[in-house]
Structure 1
Amino acid sequence: MTIQPPMLGREDLIALAEAYGLGKPAASSGPLPGWGSRRYRIDTTKGHFDVRLRAPDEAYEVLRREIDLLGFLEKHDFASPRIVADENGRTYADYDGWLLVLTRVPAGSYLGEGDLTLRQIHSAGKVLGTLHTVGRGYKKTIENRFGFDRIFETYAGVRRRLPPYFKKLVRTLDEEVEYLGNYLETKLPKGVIHGNLYLGSMLFKGDRLVCLGDFDAACRGKYVYDLATGVNALCFHDGSYSLDRFEALLAGYESYRTLSLAEWDSFPNELRFAALRFAVTRLSEFFETTGEEAERINREFGGYFERLQVLRREKEGGMEGLLMAMATGYDYRKYQRIKADEEPGD
């Protein structure tokens, strides 16, 4: 088990807020539920701030790239966290051997699967479409740390640690790794993607997604994969995919970027890979955590494994409607555009 970061108590947060000139933390400040000692919220009269503790052995280069990308997104007024530098201009600090990063976030709430409205999901689609559009101007290369080859390696390591009574789980994951290794499409539109869309990265206020965070997995990758992670995060509830949610998300996304025919064709497999990726990484993280953080990760693993079972048609869960929407999505939208172009001349 890896070493866990130090816990920041009330006095630590007060000292941190003073060092960054944030003012006195309100009573609502403290650790975010489910994140153990890795993530905190500081609320003051000057705003709302997110505090993260990152392990230095894996985070220096990742963090440098993340900070650079966040700076680019801020220049384009994208709805992402804003890095807060200390009095010496440093964008991160050493804290007992860990990397401490402070960001400013807008007022808002993190929501559960059952709390989402169609308007909020539509807004999330627009934000993701905006990211993929704005990101075209970001010319620096960012390695994809969660592509198929890396997930294959991660699963191989996790598989050796699973107890024998997990035979059914292992068989499902084995089959999925083999299938996706043969059928994932690589020649699809690529650019800057978020790479880690899940509800804990999305801050909502009213009907709007006001902040998309957690850019540590951002990279150059397939746009449709990023969209697939959004579908898995936002459109699955009570053991089933919601067609209404799917259509709301896609409508928001395609108001900024239209999917190609090849992307529509690859959508089902990208959904499967997105579910596999999150299931495998959560399973790997579970072995390295304890307490409430391990409980959160275990819940998330179970949720993504359930999605994978639905996507594999091993259990009911709304896939028929999604598959029909994917099969007809390109032709329907093309028809709508042609119709719109023809109407003014009628």
Structure 2
Amino acid sequence: MALYTSLDASAFQRLAEAYGLGSVREFAGIPQGSINSNFRLVTSAGRFFVRHTTVRSAEDLGFEAGLLALLNAAHYPSPRLVHTREGQPFLELEGGRVCVFAWLVGEELTRETLTAEHLESLGLELGKLHRLGDAYVGARANPYGSSVVAGWLEGLARHPDAELAAIARELQGYLARADASRGGLEPRGVIHADIFLDNVKWLGERVSAVFDFEMACQDALGLDVAITLNAWCFEAGAYRPELCRALLRGYQVERALVPLERTHLFGHALFGAVRYTASRIRDFHLSDLPPDKLAPKDFRTYLARARLLNQMGPEGLRALVGL
């Protein structure tokens, strides 16, 4: 969602024509995230969210489109992908691929406003997503699995910045522990893999939309639970037990965790903390983009999660979340 690619008025007019959106009235970049260039577009047909990518393949976009179609049909609170006049889920434009979504209603919450009721509602929707995903026949491996993260850390461990190199070596130890603490015959299926605060909209205490499915893939369902727990339940250097337990309580209304998932939740949480520490170093800390093109995210907040998880261990995390 960073502004890697600039789209001018003529590009948006070509886009509007390809999608049958009428005349362009206004557009603006949204300098958030790390991978894509995102824009708000207003036309005579309404408001739209436009995502331009130079890294995602046609197969990746097809997986996302098929998943969203399934979720929309099931009335799950998910984005509505707009297709071109020719019925395609994306458009080749300006050296990349563009997807257009109907603008979502609702507001994003700040960490300070989160309550246990919010997390229970979020857990419910996450469990519902995993249950509905059982019917999806698309296939996409996790593009950010352990081997990819290990490669990132190997490169960072050779970085000339001594502090970053030391952190990378520390994370390599955490990654080894995480991998030893998960795996086996865990339930697998479609996961969102990126449910952060800025990927959910709310109407009061009700989830109005879970969006940004670009990282959706097939992996252990417990990994999705752990990523979401890390993203929503950590504040000021500590996990908030009431939020952790509410998330798991809501989730298990829709889908009960099996014993192996309970055992491996620690490994998934530690892996998620390592993965996002490393990606934030690469995508934000080492980025050359100015602040008006890329809203910064501090890798140290996820490093703090990794260190705390490593300290508390599997039993400490299970006690924290009430499993």
Q: TM-score, normalised by structure 1?
A: 0.81
Matches of 1:83 and 1:201 in 2, distance apart? 16
CA 45–312 in structure 1, closer or farther in 2 if over 3 Å, else same: farther
Question: What are the superposed Cα offsets for residues 261-315 of structure 1, whole Å, 9 maximum, x if unpaired?
Answer: 221121122111111111122223234551227863542x22211211221228x
Shift of 1:21: 4.2
Alignment of 1:191-202 (within 5 A): 191-202=189-200
Report the alpha carbon displacement of residue 198 of structure 1 after superposing the two structures with TM.
1.6
Tell whether the 8 Å contact from 1:119 to 1:208 is kept in structure 2 after alignment: no
Partner of 1:177: 175
What residue identity is the alignment partner of 2:186? L
Aligned partners of 2:270, 2:57: CA distance in 1, in Å?
28
* C-alpha separation in 2, matches of 1:102 and 1:44: 12
Q: Supply the distance in 1 between the matched residues of 2:71 and 2:160 (Cα, whole angstroms).
A: 40
2:114 to 116, 141, 149: 116
Change (3 A) 1:224 1:162: farther
Aligned to 1:6: 5
Give the Å deviation of 1:38: 0.7
Alpha-carbon distance in 1 for matches of 2:165, 2:287 = 22
**Between structures 1 and 2, the one with greater helix share:** 1
Which residue of 114, 136, 139 maps to 1:138?
A: 136
Taking the aligned partners of 1:205 and 1:162, their CA distance within structure 2 comes to: 47
Q: Secondary structure at the match of 2:267?
A: helix
Name the counterpart of 1:334.
Answer: none
Give the distance between the partners of 1:6 and 1:166, measured in 2 at CA. Answer: 28
Deviations 1:108-145 (A, max 9, x none): 12233223233222221111000110011112322121
CA contact (8 A) 1:10 1:30 kept: no
Offset at residue 158 of structure 1 (A) = 3.3
Q: Which residue of 1 aligns with 2:203?
A: 205
Contact 1:9 1:30 in 2 (8 A): no
* Contact 1:246-1:322 at 8 Å conserved across structures: no
- Are residue 296 (structure 1) and residue 295 (structure 2) matched? yes
1:1-346 equivalences in 2 (<5 Å): 5-8=4-7, 16-17=15-16, 20-22=19-21, 30-35=28-33, 38-43=37-42, 48-56=47-55, 58-161=56-159, 163-286=161-284, 287-288=286-287, 290-292=289-291, 296-299=295-298, 301-313=299-311, 322-326=317-321, 329=323
Closer/same/farther in 2, CA of residues 24 and 292 from structure 1, 3 Å limit: farther
Displacement, 1:102? 0.4
RMSD (CA atoms): 2.9
Out of 39-48 and 72-81, give the one that drifted further.
Answer: 39-48
Which sections of structure 2, spanning at least 5 residues, go unmatched? Answer: none
CA distance in 2, matches of 1:162, 1:122: 44
User: C-alpha displacement at 1:8, in angstroms?
Assistant: 3.4
- Where in structure 1 are there 5+ consecutive unaligned residues? 330-346
Q: By how many angstroms is 1:66 displaced?
A: 1.4
Contact 2:120–2:250 (CA<8 Å) still a contact in 1?
A: yes
**1:228 CA drift (Å):** 0.4
Query: Within 1, Cα distance between the matches of 2:196 and 2:58?
Result: 23
Q: Determine helix, strand or coil for the equivalent of 1:80.
A: coil
Asked if the contact 1:34–1:292 (Cα under 8 Å) also holds between the matched residues in 2, the reply is: no
Alpha-carbon distance change, 325 to 177 in structure 1, aligned in 2, over 3 angstroms = closer
Quickly say closer, same or farther: Cα 1:186–1:150, change in 2 above 3 A: farther
Q: What secondary structure does 2:291 align onto?
A: helix
State the distance in 2 between where 1:168 and 1:231 align. 27
Contact 1:81 1:212 in 2 (8 A): yes
Separation in structure 1 between the aligned mates of residue 135 and residue 234 of structure 2, nearest angstrom: 32
Does the aligned pair in 1 maintain the 2:31–2:293 contact within 8 Å? no
Q: Percent identity?
A: 27
Larger Rg: 1
Q: Structure 2-normalised TM-score? A: 0.86
- Contact 1:35–1:292 (8 Å) recurs in 2: no
Q: Distance in 2 between matches of 1:157 and 1:66?
A: 30
- Paired with 1:39 and 1:52, the residues of 2 have a C-alpha distance of 5
